[in-house]
């Protein structure tokens, strides 16, 4: 039996609610490791987001041009540029717990066009932020005062065609594509965004953890090894059921082919980071 099937559902859900997981991607020009003004603008927000007990992991990437050795060095320089800038913002060095230069080994796509290559020239920041104890606070803030949900603000800041946004705190029954009821409010946020932006077209992307290799996970309900695909499809079906045109939606699953952390994951944080749903902006 696969290791993820052995983890009790309660443990998964308790952990997911103990902290928020965020992913931020900053992009670089070809053959450059200097931070752009857009990257600096994204990073400048982190002191407002991070709370005591938060951790940050940095992963540097390149497109496929250049030798493996050169790209590994360049991705390391990009990680160092982000790390050094975070320190100038007053972010404590000790909370930056992991830095990895991955070169061209974990691309988001096949590097077929300049737009795809641009998406691969990046540093990914994996943030784990403890939730405050006490009654849970909804991520959605009333829009009557002109405010937006946290997810809506992320979409507003990242609304560039080809960008990928992590959809946090979406959980499923272990080994199945059934969405846990507690995740519905987050999906309703996504639904509200889709309704407020009628030209927005997205692709829902599913990822799993805890596999030794790129293959997809086993869906214990259907007996098919397509768990990441089935979970992405479940989100699309939720949106369609609630009034979003199917023509604005697509889905795909990447199995364990694009992990943030390599197998075997060392702890629950790494498993949670790999077991994720992301939204790709296809058209604004």
| Tokens (6 digits) for 270 | 């790494």
In the listed set 137, 170, 188, which residue is the last one of a domain according to the structure?
137
State whether 56 and 110 are in the same domain: yes
**Does residue 241 surpass a pLDDT of 80?**
yes
In the listed set 93, 114, 137, which residue is the last one of a domain according to the structure?
137
Helix or strand (DSSP H, E) at 185: helix 184-196
Q: What is the pTM of this model?
A: 0.56
Strand ranges, E, within 34-95: 55-60
**Does residue 16 surpass a pLDDT of 60?**
no
In the listed set 94, 122, 137, which residue is the last one of a domain according to the structure?
137
Lowest mean pLDDT: which of 58-67, 73-82, 260-269?
260-269
State whether 156 and 119 are in the same domain: no
C-alpha–C-alpha distance, residues 190 and 142, integer Å: 15
* Neighbouring residues of 42: CB distance < 8 A, sequence distance ≥ 6: 24, 26, 157
| 159 confidence band (pLDDT: 50, 70, 90) | low
C-alpha–C-alpha distance, residues 10 and 187, integer Å: 21
C-alpha–C-alpha distance, residues 119 and 160, integer Å: 11
Which structural domain range is residue 212 located in? 139-284
In a domain, 128, yes or no: yes
**Does residue 4 surpass a pLDDT of 60?**
no
Burial class for 283, CB neighbours closer than 10 Å (0-12, 13-18, 19+): exposed
State whether 126 and 219 are in the same domain: no
At CA 89, angle to CA 161 and CA 80, rounded to 5? 70
């Amino acid at each position: 039996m696969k290791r993820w099937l052995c983890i009790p559902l309660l443990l998964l859900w308790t952990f997911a609610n103990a902290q928020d997981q965020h992913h931020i991607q900053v992009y670089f020009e070809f053959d450059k490791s200097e931070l752009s003004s857009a990257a600096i603008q994204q990073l400048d927000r982190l002191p407002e987001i991070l709370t005591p007990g938060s951790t940050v992991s940095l992963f540097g990437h390149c497109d496929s041009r250049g030798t493996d050795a050169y790209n590994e060095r360049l991705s390391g320089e990009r990680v160092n540029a982000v790390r050094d800038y975070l320190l100038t913002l007053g972010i404590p060095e000790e909370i930056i717990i992991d830095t990895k230069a991955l070169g061209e080994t974990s691309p988001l796509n096949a590097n077929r066009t300049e737009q795809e290559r641009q998406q691969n020239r990046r540093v990914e920041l994996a943030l784990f932020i403890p939730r405050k104890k006490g009654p849970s606070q909804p991520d959605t803030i009333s829009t009557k005062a002109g405010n937006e949900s946290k997810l809506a603000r992320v979409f507003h800041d990242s609304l560039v065609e080809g960008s990928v946004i992590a959809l946090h705190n979406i959980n499923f029954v272990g080994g199945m594509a059934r969405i846990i009821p507690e995740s519905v409010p987050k999906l309703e946020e996504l639904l509200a965004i889709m309704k407020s932006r009628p030209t927005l077209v997205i692709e829902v992307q599913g990822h799993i953890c805890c596999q030794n290799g790129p293959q997809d996970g086993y869906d214990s309900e259907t007996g098919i090894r397509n768990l990441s695909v089935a979970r992405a499809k479940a989100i699309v079906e939720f949106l369609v059921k609630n009034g979003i045109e199917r023509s604005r939606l697509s889905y795909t699953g990447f199995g364990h082919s694009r992990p943030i952390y390599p197998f075997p994951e060392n702890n629950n944080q790494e498993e949670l980071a790999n077991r994720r749903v992301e939204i790709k902006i296809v058209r604004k």
